[in-house]
Amino acid sequence: MEDTFKNALDRALEMTARSLRSVSIEAGVSYEKLKNLKQGKAQTTGVDDAMKVAAAFGVTLEDFYAGRLGDQASTIPVVGQVGAGAEVDLFDAYAKGDGHYRVQCPPQLKPSGTVAVEVVGDSMAPVYLPGSVLFYSRTTIGVPTEAIGRICVCEDDDGRAWVKQLRTGRDEGTFTLISMNPGHDHRHGVRLAWAAPVRFSLPPEFVRKID
């Protein structure tokens, strides 16, 4: 286990230029344990820890051991589109880790658990322009408290996806979706399946698609 894990970790760090300490923090595995294993010292790690490290790189344990990281460990899948004025059906029927295309993971984020969507329409301009890519993580079911007042990617009960600022609606269980562009109306009384705050965005001129 020690040699296999050490070799896999060496390859992963070499391919992605991520520090051992960063991997330790993201994976929730002791830095001293990872350092000792990487240095070939006589300590062992369990499969659970190895799975946590693989997840930090956004790949399966089998891919991690085989060194099949490639762009998967440093890119984010764009799983669909969100409407900013346009009515868009969310399309995220991809296998986990897949998407319509991929983009480079911003250094401010970690790939594990992060997905992205592309903006259609201009109701959120000038904050988000058409073609912008928004990054988010869905860590809870429904609409978390911290989403209120923030710009979020969200899906309504009809399966349409939006990027809007969320406010609590007049009726219980409803929300108001706020547009940033003064030329667009807000949406009132909307019931949402889920919402996730936008964590980072790329303007269209900085989006580099990776097939």
Q: Which domains does the chain have, with CATH numbers?
A: 2-70 (1.10.260.40), 75-206 (2.10.109.10)
pTM beyond 0.85, yes or no: no
- d(CA 78, CA 99) in angstroms, rounded, equals 5
Kindly state the tokens that stand for 113. Answer: 């658990």
Residue of 131 and 8 predicted with greater confidence: 131
pLDDT band at 73 (very low <50, low <70, confident <90, very high): low
Of the CA atoms within 13 Å of residue 43, those in its CB half-sphere come to 13
Which candidate, 109, 87, 209, places its Cα nearest to that of 156?
A: 87
Identify the burial level of 145 via C-beta atoms within 10 angstroms of its C-beta, where 0-12 means exposed, 13-18 middle and 19 or more buried.
exposed
What value does the mean pLDDT take over residues 48-62? 79
Q: CB–CB of 38/20 below 8 Å?
A: yes
Question: What value does the mean pLDDT take over residues 151-170?
Answer: 93
Residue 95's pLDDT band, with cuts at 50, 70 and 90, is very low
In DSSP terms, which residues pair with 162 in a beta bridge?
Answer: 83, 154
Average pLDDT score, the chain: 82
